[in-house]
Amino acid sequence: MIKTLLSDVFKNDEVIFLSYGGYFTQPLIVAMTETLEIESEKFFISTRLATNICIVFIELSQNLMNYSKKKNNELDPKGVIVVGKDEQNNYYIYTQNIITKKDKEKIEKTLSLIKKSSLDEIKKLYREIRRSGVNSHKKGGGIGFYEIAKRSKYIEYEFETIDAERCFFKFKAVIGRNETVK
């Protein structure tokens, strides 16, 4: 199943900078982040866009790492991440992993709120949640998706049911185009 989905991602007219599928660990994430930094310099990507790409990459890959760490036999703890550039020259990051239905409900609530909010509203929500300390016991502090949304042009997501307990979570953050350096 993952194979089919991956082939959808690798379209001929898109440029892929980095792709990885498997278990996520911190050393891997660090190495991939540094690779993205080097690539950004090579392609003369503006500092703003380059840091946005790196921040969204770190946020998403550490999410996947936290899933990789879960010792739950029912879940396949592997994930997929792709960094690419689409036909409109927008840089994007795509991730895919398997989550529980329970997590799906939580994620869906956050993402649907983000989807209908303006950038200013997202920024406001981010600061409110950071201040309130709600979810602060969680690894991401509960503001990870807001951080991603703040740095993206737009986000897309989809849940695909596997069985009664699990589903695929597919997420895409379209970050933006390279602006000419002033």
Partner 1 sequence: MEKIYIEPTRYTPEIYLDPDKGIISLKGKSYPENTFEFYEPIMKWIKEYSKNPKDTTTVNMEIVYFNSSTSKLFFNLLDILDEMRDKSKVIVNWIYDKENENAKEAGEDFVEDFPEMDIRLVEKDSLND
- Asked if residues 66 and 146 have their Cβ atoms less than 8 Å apart, the reply is no
Cβ burial of 164 (10 Å; 0-12, 13-18, 19+) is: exposed
Min dist CB 126 to partner 1, Å, is 8
Min dist CB 108 to partner 1, Å, is 19
DSSP 151: T
Sign (positive/negative) of CA torsion 44, 50, 54, 60? negative
Q: With respect to partner 1, which residue has the nearer C-beta, 65 or 83?
A: 65
Q: With respect to partner 1, which residue has the nearer C-beta, 47 or 112?
A: 47
Q: With respect to partner 1, which residue has the nearer C-beta, 16 or 30?
A: 30
Q: With respect to partner 1, which residue has the nearer C-beta, 81 or 167?
A: 81
Cβ burial of 27 (10 Å; 0-12, 13-18, 19+) is: exposed
Residue 79's nearest CA partner among 38, 149, 23 is 23
- State the residues that interact with partner 1 by CB under 8 A: 26, 29-30, 33-34, 46-48, 51-52, 54-55, 58-59, 62, 65, 123, 127, 130-131, 136, 139-141, 143-144, 146-147, 151
Min dist CB 12 to partner 1, Å, is 33
